[in-house]
Structure 1
Amino acid sequence: MPASEDTITTFATEMGYLEPRASTKEWLKDILPTRSEVVEYAKTTFPVLTWFYRYNWQWLIGDLIAGLTVSVVVIPQSMAYAKLAQLPPYFGLYSSFLGVILYCATGTSKDITIGPVAVMSTLMGEILNDVLPRLPQYQDTPWVVASALSVVLGCIVAGIGFLRLGFIVDFIPLPAIAAFMTGSALSIAMGQVPSLMGNNKAPGYNTREATYLVFGNFFKNIRYCDINAALGLTALALLYFIRWGSGYCSRRWPGYQRLFFFMDTLRTAFVILLYTLMSFLVNHSRHDNPRFSILGDIPRGFKNIGVPHISSDILSAAAGRIPSAVIVLVIEHISIAKSFGRVNKYTINPNQEMIAIGISNIFGPFFGAYPVTGSFSRTAVNSKAGVRTPFAGVITGVIVVISIYALPAVLYYVSNAVLAAVIIHAVGNLVTSPKTVKGFWHVSPFEFLIFWAGVTVSVFSSIDNGIYTTVGASAALMLFRIAKARGKFVGQIEVCDTMSDSRRNVYIPLDHTDGSNPAVDVKPPPSGIFIYRLNEGYLYPNAVHFTDHMVGQIMQQTRPGILNPYGSLGNRPWNDPGPRHKTESDIDTSKPELRSVILDFTGVSHVDITSVQNLLDVRQQLDRHADCSVSWHFVGIKSVWTRRALIAAGFGAPVGASQRPVFTVANIGLQQENDNDKPAISEDPNSLSEHEQVAILREVKTVPVMSIDRPFFHIDMNEALAAAKNQLAI
């Protein structure tokens, strides 16, 4: 005969386990860094120390090729982007060298390259247009304001990284980033069309207005287009033709794929050099009256070296635009670094990446730089060129410095229309593809609408308003989903695997709303027991919503413990509907009385004061309804702090000594005893007497899995349901 439950419970208690209670001291010990963690923190601030001592010739060759390739791309791009920022083109060169050099020591991505980018440059141009009218002393030196903002933004972003708050980037979802990129690309491209066509100098034409106004004004002033349109349109067409041709030839002749890759990569430099040569041939004798718009004088060397000027008037004037600039710096850089890390099978440290771009923006202005971040197009070039380490950025930076001293005479003849073509061609890659947008719709229609809201606001208002729209709408959607989370009443089904006959119990919603087969008959818990599964975190935003749904269903399916709790009609509350006559009753006596509630906490990671107080209120409400102490069982609690909070509220233990708890025990090995007379464990337990099975139980060391002083905190649903049934039997 099998050993009795009393015997098993006795041994579980003898080999008992009492869980240590969570304490504030332990919490402080967990969050305060140890000496070794402080040393490790200091070491991780400079990741170069973990790889540079292993540097080799093969890495150097890959970095040289990638660094040279990126430098050829960054020189024309940086000058074009500086124009977006309403700064002279050479400030783009000043901003292109220090960031990539400093990143070598502080960054964790081998692919990303830091420098001027289209979106940040456009946003900086909008900021300067907004604040310069209030700062007339800087009208002729806008780079002073740009450099001051760079230092401020760098300090903020670096501070986020040093405090290890990089996780905040995860609160910005993909649709918000995609909308920001797409809206920015449309805004930038439309803003460059007038320069491309040569009518940007038309009377009263402001290319810094909202995108839709620039679009309309372009057609109003289309009669002012001139010879610049011929250069711009042909340059843009040539850029797309080379890209298409390189891709086609790469597929047609895969043996020459690397050659066609470099043709594709160097197309920007080739087009710039070709049209610069044409410009020189046409304009070298017309310095005072060139046939088309060119850059003009570019100073040789660094003319703006010095300590950045940061004043209270600059900060007060630009304070309202700083949050959007921080968001742009962070999300553009981190999203690029993460995506290339996934492609090339390594991980980046978001906190360290913030430190890297923060330091770049702090020290760059000492050489005249304006805010910089990671560039998608140049990072793609860097990756495809075979970069091996971040040292490739040092090579790029050195070449940019050489060009600042060696190329001003050549850069003088660069066409502004061709630079506009380069910008339009570059930002085209930022537009979200129709396939991706279609995927948004299939995955989450709400986020699909958020994407289009961000794009629309960017086009009809400004880039930073588009950022605020998408981030705000995404946050509101997240809070709504949390606040409106609803649990499910679950029941039991017996299942087995197709590969074996072993059977087990699983618990699924009674209404099959999880997509389970409706043909499966779900067995509800015994009368008076309810199993409620919380599918989200149980915190103050959704606590009431969870329990209102649960209490409403329980009261609807059970009868009160007292059939006439009010005594007379006059004592019934005004808001409690009931019979009009004393002899009538609205109580359905066929319904069971409430005895136990089982809460599935496997989806709950934390609780707070509000949610626990809500549980207390609900317990009192159900106790009054049942006219007895309803037992509360909890399954799958993950955190000692959650258990501590529930214990403080009085949950976890039965009320009354007569109630017999149910434990789950585990075998942790054999006790070492020299007793050869005990039966072998491998013997069939059904053929042994109770005395012999007790001997086996003594030989096998079994211990409770959960703390024995809180028997209403269960390891799984089977144990909880057994405990609830056990109480019904008492």
Structure 2
Amino acid sequence: MSGSKLKTSPNNATTNDSNLSSSVQNVSSTPGRTTSGSRLKTFLNNATTKVLSASLTNRSKQTASLEQIARETIGATFLEEDPSVAEWFRELVPSSHGVTEYVRELFPSARWVRRYNVHWLVGDAIAGVTVGLVVVPQAMAYALLARLTPAFGLYTTFTGACLYWVFGTSKDIVIGTTAVGSLLVGSVITKIEAEHPGVYRPEEIAHALSFLAGAVLFVFGVLRLGWLIEFIPYVPISAFVTSASVTIISTQLPIVLGITGINTREPPYKVYTNTLKNLPRAKLDAAIGITSIVLLWVIRDVCARMEIRQPHKKRMWSLISSLRLTFTILLFTFISWLVHRNGAAGQKKFRIVGHIEKGLSHAGVPRMDSKLFGLVASELPAIIIILIVEHIAIAKSFGRIFNYTIVPSQEMIAQGAANLLSPFVGGYVCTGSFGASAVLSKAAVRTPLAGLFSAMVLVLALYALTAVFFYIPNAALAGLIIHCTINLITPPKSLYKYWKLSPFELFIWICGVVIAFFTDLETAIYVTVGLSFAMLLIRMAKSPGRFRGSVGVTRIVRGSHALSPSPDDVTSCSSSALTMAIHPEHTETTEASRQVYLPYGTKDSRNPNIKVEPAYPGVFIYRFSENFNYINQAYHIDYLTSYIKSHTRRTQIDDGIRASDRLWCDAPPSAKVDEEKSALPILRAVVLDFSTVNIIDITSIQGLIDLRHTLDRYAAPALVEWHFAGVHNRWTRRALAFAGFGFPTVDSVDELGSWCPAYTVTASLAGATEEEQRDLESLRSRIRYDEAGRRLSSKGTLHREKSRVEPVYGVDRPFFHIDLHDAVDAAVRDAKKQDERDEMSSRSTSELPGSGNEQ
């Protein structure tokens, strides 16, 4: 849709703010004795009268005229209905069907458990038992990282295995202990014990941390706030996992070597330094620890090679590789039993786990201490971020591999429920374990119910194998931790990928790792997330919009029959440019020449030999590269103002402002400058491409209003047309319309009669038949409209061709266009008409007596 301005006039919406300010001044300066209530009433009356009544009345008359013009032109009309706050609230109110669906979504297991069959049962049983054998030694080892006894790791993994299948949406994930989560729990326990020695036991602190984390995650999941995890970028998490791996290895290295007396809670660089200094004090534990690490690596590498050499036995070798943890722990447990079976109780050749209580001996209601909750709460943010991001990342990766959908909010509920229940069983914080989940996936799991079979293995271990666990060497468990953790370190090829994709994010990654190495993990995660947010805000604030020009293009396709190798072969298509030049008859043009709008300059990836021309002198096309909001509006407005003024000239040399009234920072018009810019065009129109803009705020709207006011003064006595393309959000259209955009600018409603609009219409109507939908094409081939939308009959009278077509958007806002092509077409057409009017006016003036042209 388009229109042209007919005469200069102040824009109604532009004066809204000034009218409101005048109302305030009038009320405040009213003489006489008036109460505050009467002054407020007077203010409201004046503001309503001046701001709303006049402008809304004029706008209502203009809308009626626009509707009448559209009815006369296309035989149909459509007025936009603005969204309302009441409508928005009504959309938030759930329907009965929505409530029912919400309840069903809380229990996704109810949808598939009724279809459970024997084949699924066999697959789940095999996979569950396999994973159970893997997680038993893993859980016991990770519990040591949390400064708890190995049994607490079994309690934690048991809780996740029992509960996840009810709420979870992934068949491949295993909730249990993890190295990173256990390390964070251990850090919190160490910190609270140092600040309040002897007040709380380690398991009480771990239970409180798990309970609070579970409550937060469960509430977030119930409120369907899973989208919040998208605020945490990938690079800080990658840096954190690498840093945590380096930290974990530093804490386990003294245990592997049997070196005592080293404070493993210090920054990693100190732990590594002290470990190297105390190497001469290494004990027999080093033989077991180093041997266990070597054995684990050898088994993994041999199985990986055998999978390649014997692909028909790939599943068998994968299973053997998965059970290497269990095999290694059992082997060194047997060796430890052989060494210590006849020895005295207090004489140990190397450190072993020792006594483990049988069964779920720590099950019960955890200690609910408000002071303890307060101490733990300050440590929650970092732990929750790591727990949920790690869990969702694992679940989504398996979902992509096996083609099913993960619901983040539902995963929050599953994880929250597991962490809420864990303290009552005796466990601590749990989340998705990548290693155990990989084993479960390779074991061909069929449903989430496999977790119950893993839970059975854990119960068996707690009730029947605690006597065996007594002889597990601590060095072997530490070697297992190092073996599992070292795989989490980001490899060099990933760092190279970061460098190629985003060098600054690689810098953030390096900062996170360095900070964690010299301070602690919590500081590292906060700094990296903060840097990522700062980078995002800076990019938004400095997102460069681009002015665009016009280029005519045509699409040419090489004919598939051209130069086939043989007359019978018509399937090949030669792509030789030389051949196309020699045989142009083998090419075909698939469409007529059309205009596209490319940015000026050579900063984009287009061919630099292509010349981009302005769409029309005085018409400027500007596209926002990202959203338009309060963060970047000043940058865009300043750029628009400076660029447009530098590429246009004033309509009048003398702006009519006296020297005494001019601002000190506003330079007066210069004849020399005006002479240099005499070849530049007059500003006619600004076309804003809003295809990348969804919603706008008050600050950005005010910026556009100020820019309009500035350019109107610069182009006076002419006014500048404002055309918008791609504005599809109803709230954005409402805001722009209220600010006075989207309408033709005229002195009075009567002048709309000479305005020449163009409407984008369609015959693709809801509920229309195929024949009715073909009316538009039929109409185009049979009718050629003039600009007023009418045609002359053979008798010279005006009449309409009736057809069922409808405007795509409201006819009451003709400067909101469906796309950039329509917007530019309207602006250029109106600019041409205005130039024609100015030329005719100048010619008429020069022909008047006394104009200086008489001979």
Fold match by TM threshold 0.5: yes
The aligned amino acid for 1:702 is: V
Q: Residue 70 and residue 593 in structure 1: after superposition, are their counterparts in 2 closer, same or farther (change >3 A)?
A: same
For 2:71 and 2:190, locate their aligned partners in 1 and report how far apart those are by CA, in whole Å. 80
For 1:330 and 1:237, locate their aligned partners in 2 and report how far apart those are by CA, in whole Å. 33
- Corresponding residue of 1:20: 81
Scaled by the length of structure 2, what TM-score is found?
A: 0.80
- Corresponding residue of 1:197: 257
The aligned amino acid for 1:146 is: A
Query: Deviation digits for residues 172-204 of structure 1, max 9, x if unmatched?
Result: 1221121111111111112111101110x13xx
* SS of aligned partner of 1:390: coil
For 1:472 and 1:132, locate their aligned partners in 2 and report how far apart those are by CA, in whole Å. 29
- Corresponding residue of 1:705: 808
Kept in 2: contact 1:12–1:704 (CA 8 A): no
Query: Deviation digits for residues 210-251 of structure 1, max 9, x if unmatched?
Result: 111111010111111000000000110000000000011111
Deviation at 1:37, TM superposition (A): 0.9
- Corresponding residue of 2:698: 609
Residue 128 (structure 1) aligned with residue 218 (structure 2): no
For 2:247 and 2:755, locate their aligned partners in 1 and report how far apart those are by CA, in whole Å. 71
Residue 246 (structure 1) aligned with residue 318 (structure 2): no
For 1:397 and 1:157, locate their aligned partners in 2 and report how far apart those are by CA, in whole Å. 23
Deviation at 1:561, TM superposition (A): 3.0
Which one is further off, 699-708 or 224-233? 699-708
For 1:87 and 1:259, locate their aligned partners in 2 and report how far apart those are by CA, in whole Å. 35
Kept in 2: contact 1:268–1:422 (CA 8 A): yes
- Corresponding residue of 1:237: 294
For 2:161 and 2:797, locate their aligned partners in 1 and report how far apart those are by CA, in whole Å. 73
Deviation at 1:700, TM superposition (A): 3.1
- Corresponding residue of 2:141: 80
For 2:316 and 2:170, locate their aligned partners in 1 and report how far apart those are by CA, in whole Å. 26
Kept in 1: contact 2:208–2:376 (CA 8 A): no
- Corresponding residue of 2:391: 333
Kept in 2: contact 1:601–1:635 (CA 8 A): yes
Q: Residue 292 and residue 697 in structure 1: after superposition, are their counterparts in 2 closer, same or farther (change >3 A)?
A: farther
Query: Deviation digits for residues 462-497 of structure 1, max 9, x if unmatched?
Result: 122221122111111111111111211011112122
Kept in 2: contact 1:154–1:359 (CA 8 A): yes
Superposed, 1:311-390 pairs within 5 Å as: 311-390=369-448
Q: Residue 218 and residue 566 in structure 1: after superposition, are their counterparts in 2 closer, same or farther (change >3 A)?
A: farther
- Corresponding residue of 1:644: 734
- The match for 2:230 among 149, 170, 178 is 170
- The match for 1:727 among 824, 830, 850 is 830
The aligned amino acid for 1:528 is: G
Query: Deviation digits for residues 628-663 of structure 1, max 9, x if unmatched?
Result: 321111000120111011011111101112433322
Superposed, 1:264-343 pairs within 5 Å as: 264-286=321-343, 287-343=345-401
Kept in 2: contact 1:662–1:719 (CA 8 A): no
Superposed, 1:508-527 pairs within 5 Å as: 508-527=598-617
Kept in 1: contact 2:214–2:415 (CA 8 A): yes
Deviation at 1:716, TM superposition (A): 1.6
Which one is further off, 412-421 or 159-168? 159-168
- Corresponding residue of 1:144: 204
The aligned amino acid for 2:163 is: L
Kept in 2: contact 1:9–1:662 (CA 8 A): no
- Corresponding residue of 1:718: 821
For 1:672 and 1:347, locate their aligned partners in 2 and report how far apart those are by CA, in whole Å. 37
Deviation at 1:567, TM superposition (A): 4.6
Query: Deviation digits for residues 289-344 of structure 1, max 9, x if unmatched?
Result: 11111000011112211111121221222232111111111111111111111111
For 2:550 and 2:358, locate their aligned partners in 1 and report how far apart those are by CA, in whole Å. 79
* SS of aligned partner of 1:599: strand
- Corresponding residue of 2:569: none
Q: Residue 571 and residue 465 in structure 1: after superposition, are their counterparts in 2 closer, same or farther (change >3 A)?
A: same
Residue 592 (structure 1) aligned with residue 681 (structure 2): yes
Query: Deviation digits for residues 564-612 of structure 1, max 9, x if unmatched?
Result: 32555555433234589x9996773322221211100001011011111
Query: Deviation digits for residues 129-160 of structure 1, max 9, x if unmatched?
Result: 10112333445x21011101110110011111
For 1:671 and 1:347, locate their aligned partners in 2 and report how far apart those are by CA, in whole Å. 37
- Corresponding residue of 1:495: 553
Residue 32 (structure 1) aligned with residue 93 (structure 2): yes
Q: Residue 583 and residue 618 in structure 1: after superposition, are their counterparts in 2 closer, same or farther (change >3 A)?
A: closer
* SS of aligned partner of 1:706: coil
The aligned amino acid for 1:620 is: H
Q: Residue 584 and residue 413 in structure 1: after superposition, are their counterparts in 2 closer, same or farther (change >3 A)?
A: closer
For 1:241 and 1:694, locate their aligned partners in 2 and report how far apart those are by CA, in whole Å. 95
For 1:189 and 1:672, locate their aligned partners in 2 and report how far apart those are by CA, in whole Å. 70
For 1:373 and 1:101, locate their aligned partners in 2 and report how far apart those are by CA, in whole Å. 13
Residue 626 (structure 1) aligned with residue 706 (structure 2): no
For 1:671 and 1:702, locate their aligned partners in 2 and report how far apart those are by CA, in whole Å. 13
Deviation at 1:51, TM superposition (A): 0.6
Residue 663 (structure 1) aligned with residue 663 (structure 2): no
For 2:69 and 2:713, locate their aligned partners in 1 and report how far apart those are by CA, in whole Å. 36
Residue 405 (structure 1) aligned with residue 463 (structure 2): yes
- Corresponding residue of 2:49: none
For 2:357 and 2:463, locate their aligned partners in 1 and report how far apart those are by CA, in whole Å. 9
Which one is further off, 613-622 or 718-727? 718-727
For 2:83 and 2:211, locate their aligned partners in 1 and report how far apart those are by CA, in whole Å. 44
Which one is further off, 105-114 or 279-288? 279-288
Larger Rg belongs to:
2
Deviation at 1:443, TM superposition (A): 0.6
Kept in 2: contact 1:604–1:638 (CA 8 A): no
For 1:44 and 1:584, locate their aligned partners in 2 and report how far apart those are by CA, in whole Å. 69
- Corresponding residue of 2:268: 211
Superposed, 1:556-595 pairs within 5 Å as: 556-565=646-655, 567=657, 569=659, 571-577=661-667, 588-595=677-684
The aligned amino acid for 1:549 is: Y
Q: Residue 672 and residue 411 in structure 1: after superposition, are their counterparts in 2 closer, same or farther (change >3 A)?
A: closer
- Corresponding residue of 1:179: 239
Q: Residue 523 and residue 277 in structure 1: after superposition, are their counterparts in 2 closer, same or farther (change >3 A)?
A: same
Superposed, 1:547-562 pairs within 5 Å as: 547-562=637-652
* SS of aligned partner of 1:360: helix
For 1:317 and 1:524, locate their aligned partners in 2 and report how far apart those are by CA, in whole Å. 65
- The match for 1:225 among 274, 279, 282 is 282
- The match for 1:155 among 215, 229, 235 is 215
Identity fraction in percent: 40
For 2:770 and 2:387, locate their aligned partners in 1 and report how far apart those are by CA, in whole Å. 65
Q: Residue 555 and residue 359 in structure 1: after superposition, are their counterparts in 2 closer, same or farther (change >3 A)?
A: same
- Corresponding residue of 2:44: none
Kept in 2: contact 1:510–1:524 (CA 8 A): no
For 2:541 and 2:803, locate their aligned partners in 1 and report how far apart those are by CA, in whole Å. 49
- The match for 1:70 among 107, 116, 131 is 131
- The match for 1:258 among 310, 315, 333 is 315
For 1:399 and 1:480, locate their aligned partners in 2 and report how far apart those are by CA, in whole Å. 52
Kept in 1: contact 2:169–2:410 (CA 8 A): yes
For 2:389 and 2:611, locate their aligned partners in 1 and report how far apart those are by CA, in whole Å. 49
* SS of aligned partner of 2:621: strand
For 1:680 and 1:53, locate their aligned partners in 2 and report how far apart those are by CA, in whole Å. 55
The aligned amino acid for 1:387 is: V
Q: CA RMSD in A?
A: 2.5
* SS of aligned partner of 1:440: helix
Kept in 1: contact 2:792–2:799 (CA 8 A): no
The aligned amino acid for 2:804 is: K
* SS of aligned partner of 2:801: helix
Kept in 1: contact 2:304–2:317 (CA 8 A): yes
Residue 476 (structure 1) aligned with residue 534 (structure 2): yes
